[in-house]
Chain A
């Protein structure tokens, strides 16, 4: 169980704002932090990691107090059992993949974990390469493996997939899920990507100007209308065309372009570029196996 209740004043381009956090996270939860840039998502991770300090508050992880401003307890980052994956990975340029992992090792006898992580993250053939010789996706896997070497209780991911193309991103999401399950982690993920949040998290916290405004599972948070539809997809309106007395709306869902028929009164509330939920109620889906 993780308990955090902190208050910190942040200076941003839009002036100062107060980041107020007050929530609990159950063990083995995968929590996504969602919100506009500058809403305090990264600072939330840094508070947990001990890389920045709040004016007041406390943080308790699995019955151990990491921070309590009232009794002057403040564990340094070194003593908090965390794994932190930075947005730019922050790999050590002077060390090879293997050395990056070895550096994180506390007890040099415990090299089995290194071999296991290299295996799990499929980095075996790359272990003697330097970070600048790797692709973005490979660097990301090294950063994730390195964060897991100390067997953290809490994994903090700061937009780890934002710099990676879509195809690779889907694959890396699987690595994240695998690590989360295999090592029984409690994970906090900062992400802008709704699809990613849907796939990975079981809980979403929405941050707006330093305040948590929504808290729930992804489908509850992101769909504004409650729908009893069995199928629902998120997409973006690309085009609205008039055809006789009907309208054809082109919606981009993932990589697929879908055309949906709409009536004139519906069209009036839509605009090109808007996010939209496409759902369907009574129909019988047919499943075909793909080769």
Chain B
């Protein structure tokens, strides 16, 4: 019988990461979509870095930063009693950074593809930016939101390098499915590795089918979004 703990850790990590990422990514995407500041390109480049950087490089820097022997990790441990190396919280922070472009980029292009007039119309009707965001902008970029959320979720499930560097392979804490597959293969347990792998394969495939199905259906109903 296989151990279900890695599946549970994976799912918990993906859900927590996606939730936090949406909270972080939405204001970031809004600012990137509408700001005219020149410094914007620097932030855009930083957001996209995880796309081109090998996960092990990102993981290496995070490991250094989180380590209690260095300034940032020391500060967290002393003042907040938080340790981010080889813990679930550390994995979440690392995953948020690693999946950032998958959340921010679809949302940013969602904002940019909205006709600018509909926000202005809401302002002339007495609505502030927050009301406009909730009632006008977000409901008209549902496809972008679903794409951003599902891609971030799926990408977190699929990560390996960052998790290995920052989280290691602690059962029930940081051992996710992708790590479990690696462990089983190195231990020559090909059968268990095959079960984990097939679960991940089928799950990822179904998620993508869901996204494209939603996109197709929605494109027919609404001319926008």
Contact of B120 with A by CB under 8 A:
yes
Contact of A254 with B by CB under 8 A:
no
The answer to whether A90 touches B126, judged by C-beta atoms less than 8 angstroms apart, is: no
Q: Which residues, 75 to 122 on B, are CB-close (under 8 Å) to A?
A: 115, 117-118, 120-122
Q: How many residues of A contact B (CB 8 A)?
A: 25
Contact of B135 with A by CB under 8 A:
yes
* Known interface pairs A92-B136, A93-B223, A132-B222; A51-B126 also in contact (CB < 8 Å): no
* Known interface pairs A93-B224, A94-B140; A88-B124 also in contact (CB < 8 Å): no
For A103, what are the chain B residues with a Cβ–Cβ distance below 8 Å?
Answer: 122, 125, 127, 135-136
Contact of A263 with B by CB under 8 A:
no
For A149, what are the chain B residues with a Cβ–Cβ distance below 8 Å?
Answer: 125
Give CA–CA (A76, B225) in the complex, Å. 28
The answer to whether A106 touches B126, judged by C-beta atoms less than 8 angstroms apart, is: yes
The answer to whether B126 touches A84, judged by C-beta atoms less than 8 angstroms apart, is: no
Contact of B190 with A by CB under 8 A:
no
Query: What's the count of A-B pairs with C-beta under 8 Å?
Result: 66
Contact of A78 with B by CB under 8 A:
yes
Output the nearest chain A residue to B139 by Cβ-Cβ distance. Answer: A94
- Min Cβ gap B113→A in Å is 12
The answer to whether B124 touches A82, judged by C-beta atoms less than 8 angstroms apart, is: yes
The answer to whether A77 touches B124, judged by C-beta atoms less than 8 angstroms apart, is: yes
The answer to whether A76 touches B123, judged by C-beta atoms less than 8 angstroms apart, is: yes
- Min Cβ gap B5→A in Å is 42
* Known interface pairs A93-B140, A149-B125; A86-B120 also in contact (CB < 8 Å): yes
Contact of B128 with A by CB under 8 A:
yes
- Min Cβ gap B193→A in Å is 46
Q: Which residues, 108 to 166 on B, are CB-close (under 8 Å) to A?
A: 115, 117-118, 120-128, 135-136, 139-140
Give CA–CA (A80, B123) in the complex, Å. 10
The answer to whether A51 touches B224, judged by C-beta atoms less than 8 angstroms apart, is: no
Give CA–CA (A103, B140) in the complex, Å. 15
For A132, what are the chain B residues with a Cβ–Cβ distance below 8 Å?
Answer: 222-223
User: A49, A91, A92, A94: which contacts B124 (Cβ < 8 A)?
Assistant: A49
> Interface range on chain B: under 10, 10 to 19, 20 to 34, or 35 or more?
20 to 34
- Min Cβ gap B224→A in Å is 4
User: A76, A84, A106, A150: which contacts B121 (Cβ < 8 A)?
Assistant: A84
Give the most central of A83, A86, A91, A94: most B CB within 10 Å: A94
The answer to whether B117 touches A90, judged by C-beta atoms less than 8 angstroms apart, is: yes
Contact of A104 with B by CB under 8 A:
yes
- Min Cβ gap B110→A in Å is 13
Give CA–CA (A27, B125) in the complex, Å. 22
For A79, what are the chain B residues with a Cβ–Cβ distance below 8 Å?
Answer: 126
The answer to whether A90 touches B118, judged by C-beta atoms less than 8 angstroms apart, is: yes
User: B118, B123, B126, B128: which contacts A92 (Cβ < 8 A)?
Assistant: B118
- Min Cβ gap B214→A in Å is 16
Contact of A146 with B by CB under 8 A:
yes
Give CA–CA (A91, B120) in the complex, Å. 11
Give CA–CA (A83, B122) in the complex, Å. 11
Output the nearest chain B residue to A86 by Cβ-Cβ distance. Answer: B117
- Min Cβ gap B69→A in Å is 51
The answer to whether A78 touches B117, judged by C-beta atoms less than 8 angstroms apart, is: no
For B140, what are the chain A residues with a Cβ–Cβ distance below 8 Å?
Answer: 92-94
- Min Cβ gap A60→B in Å is 19
A-B contact pairs, 13 of them (CB 8 A): A51-B120, A77-B124, A78-B123, A78-B124, A79-B126, A88-B117, A92-B135, A93-B225, A94-B222, A103-B136, A104-B126, A149-B125, A150-B125
For the complex of A and B, the 3 pairs showing the least CB-CB separation, nearest first, are: A90-B117, A90-B121, A94-B139
Residues of A within 8 A of B (CB): 49, 51, 76-80, 82-84, 86, 88, 90-94, 103-104, 106, 132, 146-147, 149-150
Give 7 A-B pairs besides A77-B123, A77-B124, A84-B120 with Cβ atoms closer than 8 angstroms. Answer: A92-B122, A103-B122, A103-B125, A104-B126, A106-B126, A147-B124, A149-B125
